[in-house]
Structure 1
Amino acid sequence: MKLITSHINADFDALASMMAAKRIYPDAEMVFPGSQERKVRDFIEVFHPADFRRLRDIDFSTVTQLIIVDAKHADRLGPLSTLLSQKGIKIHIYDHHPFEENDIRRDQEMIEEVGATATLFTELLRDRKLHPTPMEATILTLGIYEETGSLLFPSTTTRDLLAVAYLLKRGANLNIVSSYIKMDLNRQELDLLNELLASSAEVVLRGLRVMIAKASRDSYVGDAAHLAHKIMEMEDVDAVVILLEMQGKILLVARSRARELDVAELMKEFGGGGHPTAASATIKEASLEMAADKLKILLDKHIKHGKVAVDVMTSPVITTQWDSAIKEAADTMTRYGVNVLPIIRDEKYVGLISREIVEKALFHGFKRNKCIEFSTSDAATVGKDTPVRDIEAIMIEQNQRFMPVIEEGNIIGAITRTDLLRVIYEDFLRKRRLDKEGTHERSPTGRNLSTLLRDRFPDEVHRILVLAGNVADDMGANAYLVGGSVRDLLLGHANLDIDIVIEGDGIRFAKELGEKLKAQVRSHHRFGTANITLDKLKLDVATARTEYYESPAALPKVEMSSIKKDLYRRDFTINTLAIKLNARSFGLLIDFFGGQRDLREKTIRVLHNLSYVEDPTRAFRAVRFAERFGFKLSRHSENLIKSAIQMNLFERLSGSRLFDELLIAFSETNPVKTLKRLSDYGLLKIIHKNLVLDEKLESTLSSMYETLAWHTLLFLDEKVDKGVLYLIALLSNLDDEQRAEALHRLAPPGATREIIQQSIAESAEILGKLPLNDPVGIYHLLSPKRVELILFSMAITKDNRKKKEISQFLVELRKTKPFLTGRDLKKLGLPEGPLYSRIFRELLDKRLRGTMRTAEDEKKYVTDHYMKG
């Protein structure tokens, strides 16, 4: 006999999962190990959805396989737990709760963290084309809705939503679902709710408000879980724990909406479990008061510290010396884009000076006075472990916009009003659930991508990222995954360019991580960067930096800074996303500048109005990213490009940087579309004032694109410089003098310049001399030429016969060579010397004409013509 079972006091998720398992194991019997929740019993009595065996009718000795759904702990299986020790029984487990210590581990396990086990079974039925009946679809929907709070609980995943959509398509009846899921209270439940509220006590620990409510009942109360939800809705608290005494035992039901309290871990202390946001337990031989007292003690153990200063502060901080002149302070503020400067004397913090004070001092003529003379010396400060809630109160009550974080007299960080607002907003979203007031997209603020990191990256890469976080923790540093890999992770694109930024000593971090990975580490102390090289992976590590530009289009000056400043120095919002790697907050997405919004809206947006002034190549980069991802430039970004052109900022841009940017654009995008967009913005004029994307040039570029696509398809292993080829095509429309000027502007390396000039100059000659139907002539004309010149000639010719001849050369003729070698000629008795070259030339020509097809033919020819005498 095969048995399908679930947990005692079965809910709709258990019922749905058992019935779905029956479709997968059609020869198995379904049996409940104990009672069912009242609503489940009512449903079975009304609809009789399936046949269930009675537990007392099961001969345990005949059971050969046990399929357990929505449970994996022996204590939840009632009498059926004895089967676990019976030899020869196969155990298959399906559940959506994460594994815990002492869970059952057996032959087959499907444990995935979704909102409901019914979701897993819905996916299995769909994938195996075992489409459920309308009644089965309704029960599965009941299971998902009940377990996810009608898709409102934080544990809800996109897979749950997709599962419900599929079930609705298969005929799930939402009228039936709503009649069993709705939380209307009957008279008995209303009395119990009133008693719970009347007896409730609020515990405040580390800034979290937890309500503990107690009640007693002589008779059994079926489903008390929804009373906890009702209390959470009615009371503005972070968590609720209900203690309900009945029939000699105490039922604990816990709900939490605070990351700092994992109620599954809390309920483990009482022998229970569940999700971090919803869990329960049952205890015996204890009074309500004793259980409540124990609960209060355990809450102190399980409530993690909420965010403290070190979690939200910016570090390191831009400072100024006490005797710096006011004018110098003003320059520092402008250079780094800050509004407040801490003042340092003898390496210790002594006060603050704001931009407002500096500007007034300058207005009154005090530009040479010392900063200390105008500083605020009594501003409040905090330590690195000060709770953020306390910092909120201080900054609001004292109207302080900038909070220094001090340790042993040294300033180790700072918290601004923006940092504080972000924390408050995240807390507001978590508690208030904006989506209750209509249909709103869940805010991405504070989003955790740990699951995405695990699912999208190869196992080895994920392991390295986890290890990187642990190494950073050991150093007391913060580690972040940054750059294109984060952006592409959210876009669903593969990208294993792993860039890690460290708030701390990046080189030391790289050495320690490299040692653990047994990998080669190369350090660049001048820039605070390092490379870690493994067999198939390269990691780039950098110390968090800020930068400033001493003049437009100049190379930036770089200094050590915070992750926020490091991200701010990047080009566009979509490239400012970071993921924290430290163990405590592994996977936490950092988005200071609205990068996720612009990814959703498919928009390229610069970070600030001087972006193109500081680095004009960003205009070309903006077009490249827009074409690469199919995005648009924001209107403001477009206007800033026009302003940069009007201000002649691109004249200050070095040719080599412009050249490099063009080559990258040609390699990552469709160059024809990219150049068209560059032309629309007037950016081609930066290369040369006469460079116009007219119909002729567009045709040349399109033909080059098609030619390279053909070449790539046939010659995957042969590498050609595509960027240079497109540059050849782009400059081919200019005359010799203009082309020389454009090349001078772009300043390509000498070898590249020669290829470009040679290809344009010789292509006409090649096409003029190219014979038709003469493989020997074609071979000797083209074989000495670079493949770039040959491909360019093929692209620009309008004569399809010549295209065909060139393609035949590339595909067949250029590989042709004689069968015989010098060693063969020596064996035939011919003396070494210039004669060999003459023979090989004749043999090659005959092979090209097809008059000589084998090595024997060649030997005979050599013997007949060179050995008779």
Structure 2
Amino acid sequence: MPSRLVLGCGSVGRHLAVDGGSAHVVTADEHRVETLRAEGVSATRDDPADPDALADIDFEPATVVVGSDDPAQNRAVAGLAREEFPDAHLFAFAGRAPTEADVTALEAVADTVADPREAVRSFLMERAGDSGLRIRRLKRVLRNAKPPLAVFAHDNPDPDAIASAMALKQIAERADTPATACYFGDINHRENRALVNLLDIELDARAGDPDLSEFGSIALVDHSRPGVNDQLPPDTDVDIVIDHHPPRAPVEARFVDLRSDVGATSTLLTEYLRKLGTEPTPELATALLFGIAVDTDDFSREVVTEDFEAAAHLVKHADMATLERIESPSVDVETFEILARAIAERDVREGILTTYVREIRDRDALAQAADQLLGMEDVLTTLVLGRMDGTVFASARARGSDLDLGEALREAFDQIGSAGGHADMAGAQIPIGALVEEDEASPDTAVREALTDRFYETLGVGSDRSAAPVYEEDTYIGLAEALRRETGDGD
């Protein structure tokens, strides 16, 4: 039994009849009926603008397509189809050279209207607009880049950075420029390790003083400046920068694509792959899809249409069984130990929980503890601190407030370390030497007090100090007041 009814069979109607599932066609064109039947498509010669022809249809279509090339006929047929099949999804082609009145009339009755003028505009904008210009410029820079190209993710890369480096490497190699995906630091988070191991991703882990003599060109993904969140010399000449984080200083490179209006850098790289007509390997598609999901918190944070479109494209190529394994790796014993210490050492003030778990072996445990503690009653913000190899690492999470955690951590810790992130998920690194003297009798106590006091003071909690501007513009009212409003205690 057909699921789609095609009324009128011009160029668009024919494609929709032949492609993508069972259909029945009603058209007055005898030659078209014969051709369709020869191709195995059910077809009837009749006038689709005749109410009796529609009444004779002996099945309930899930979709009705109005597909002739005549705008006037499509208007008439669409109206009849809506009356005859009120529960079907009605797709109407506006026809060749439709007027605004034609499109408006169709929009009044159809669920979806395809306007060829809009398709032409989209086609031209892809090639002559901003998107097309970016593609041409990137291809030109890659063709002229001195090989090999080093594609650097930020330090301790997350899935978005890893996938973006993989994607730019594939794009570069398509332009006949050999490339290597590189990073400094460690891949600590258990999901990140699962991503690399299960997909067998090749990454060049750099250590010590960065020797770049083997590379002819440098690219940065998911961050935008050398020496900031990577261990490259600050004066490194950069050829390509692709990032979705808003820059805090001018960015210099031969090609720069900074778009903070998307949820992930992987979204931008997916767009490049699509526009270049490059099909991602299953491994790359899986990594990019995971990168978008993680950076948008499973499509719930700072997500836009472009992120959904990228994901829809990647799903067709991704290994979903492997993705499920990446998203649900095993939890090690240390993570449970760190979570227990975090709970025992917690300090909660006005909905903000801070905790210092002392020495750690795996930074990933801090992030998982910050996530878990956010589920505690009356807690809207968490900051979990731990030390490893002479550095204090911080992981923070927030929910249900106007607080911008990335800005908060930068305000609190940038002068003594480095910090950054998103509005509801951020991190920081602070050298212990910036906090305590070598002969400090109780270094852990000093570290905890110094960092938690800085954080609370930045937010204006437990102190007379005015809060820093780390809330969305025109919305800051003081976190304590925000919490009172949230809980209704101020009424």
TM-score normalised according to structure 2 size: 0.57
Residue identity matched to 1:93: V
Q: How does 1:265-304 map to 2 (within 5 A)?
A: 265-269=407-411, 270=413, 271-285=418-432, 286=435, 287-300=447-460, 301-302=467-468
Residue identity matched to 1:60: L
Counterpart Cα distance in 1 of 2:364 and 2:275: 35
Deviations 1:43-73 (A, max 9, x none): 4344423364756898523533211001124
Cα offset, 1:283, TM superposition: 0.4
- Secondary structure, counterpart of 2:156 in structure 1: coil
Contact 1:74 1:104 in 2 (8 A): no
Q: How does 1:322-333 map to 2 (within 5 A)?
A: none
Cα offset, 1:260, TM superposition: 3.0
Counterpart Cα distance in 2 of 1:104 and 1:128: 25
Q: How does 1:177-576 map to 2 (within 5 A)?
A: 177-182=323-328, 185-204=331-350, 209-222=351-364, 224-269=366-411, 270=413, 271-285=418-432, 286=435, 287-300=447-460, 301-302=467-468, 389=485
2:286 to 138, 146, 149: 138
Q: Which residue of 1 aligns with 2:295?
A: 147
Contact 1:30 1:51 in 2 (8 A): yes
- Secondary structure, counterpart of 1:25 in structure 2: helix
Q: Which residue of 1 aligns with 2:121?
A: none
Q: Which residue of 1 aligns with 2:257?
A: 110
Cα offset, 1:193, TM superposition: 1.0
2:188 to 37, 45, 49: 37
Give the structure with the larger helix fraction.
1
Counterpart Cα distance in 2 of 1:235 and 1:183: 27
Residue identity matched to 1:236: D
Gap change, CA 1:217 and 1:90, over 3 Å in 2: closer
Contact 2:188 2:362 in 1 (8 A): no
Identity of aligned residues (%): 25
Residue identity matched to 1:278: M
Q: Which residue of 2 aligns with 1:161?
A: 308
Counterpart Cα distance in 1 of 2:475 and 2:202: 57
Counterpart Cα distance in 1 of 2:226 and 2:311: 30
Q: How does 1:28-67 map to 2 (within 5 A)?
A: 28-39=179-190, 40-50=192-202, 52=204, 60-67=212-219
Gap change, CA 1:185 and 1:277, over 3 Å in 2: same
Gap change, CA 1:109 and 1:235, over 3 Å in 2: farther
Deviations 1:277-328 (A, max 9, x none): 21111001221221112221112123778999999xxxxxxxxxxxxxxxxx
Counterpart Cα distance in 1 of 2:344 and 2:450: 19
Q: Which residue of 2 aligns with 1:85?
A: 235
Residue identity matched to 1:50: E
Counterpart Cα distance in 2 of 1:85 and 1:173: 40
Deviations 1:616-659 (A, max 9, x none): xxxxxxxxxxxxxxxxxxxxxxxxxxxxxxxxxxxxxxxxxxxx
Deviations 1:244-299 (A, max 9, x none): 22232111111122443111111113121111221111001221221112221112
Q: Which residue of 2 aligns with 1:4?
A: 151
2:247 to 99, 119, 125: 99
- Secondary structure, counterpart of 1:254 in structure 2: strand
Counterpart Cα distance in 2 of 1:386 and 1:12: 33
Deviations 1:574-620 (A, max 9, x none): xxxxxxxxxxxxxxxxxxxxxxxxxxxxxxxxxxxxxxxxxxxxxxx
Larger radius of gyration: 1
Gap change, CA 1:21 and 1:304, over 3 Å in 2: closer
Larger RCO, structure (CA 8 Å, separation 6 or more): 2
- Secondary structure, counterpart of 1:3 in structure 2: strand
* CA root-mean-square deviation: 3.4
Deviations 1:829-852 (A, max 9, x none): xxxxxxxxxxxxxxxxxxxxxxxx
Deviations 1:757-795 (A, max 9, x none): xxxxxxxxxxxxxxxxxxxxxxxxxxxxxxxxxxxxxxx
- Secondary structure, counterpart of 1:264 in structure 2: helix
**How many pairs does the alignment contain?**
311
Counterpart Cα distance in 2 of 1:230 and 1:251: 17
Counterpart Cα distance in 1 of 2:204 and 2:367: 25
Q: How does 1:646-661 map to 2 (within 5 A)?
A: none
Cα offset, 1:104, TM superposition: 3.9
Contact 1:92 1:106 in 2 (8 A): yes
Residue identity matched to 1:61: S
Q: Which residue of 2 aligns with 1:617?
A: none
Counterpart Cα distance in 1 of 2:348 and 2:472: 18
Contact 2:164 2:288 in 1 (8 A): yes
Cα offset, 1:219, TM superposition: 2.6
Cα offset, 1:100, TM superposition: 1.4
Counterpart Cα distance in 2 of 1:216 and 1:71: 29
Residue identity matched to 2:349: V
TM-score normalised according to structure 1 size: 0.33
Gap change, CA 1:182 and 1:161, over 3 Å in 2: farther
Gap change, CA 1:176 and 1:200, over 3 Å in 2: same
Gap change, CA 1:198 and 1:132, over 3 Å in 2: same
Cα offset, 1:146, TM superposition: 2.0
Gap change, CA 1:99 and 1:54, over 3 Å in 2: closer
Cα offset, 1:224, TM superposition: 2.8
- Secondary structure, counterpart of 1:61 in structure 2: coil
Unaligned segments of structure 1, at least 5 residues? 312-384, 396-869
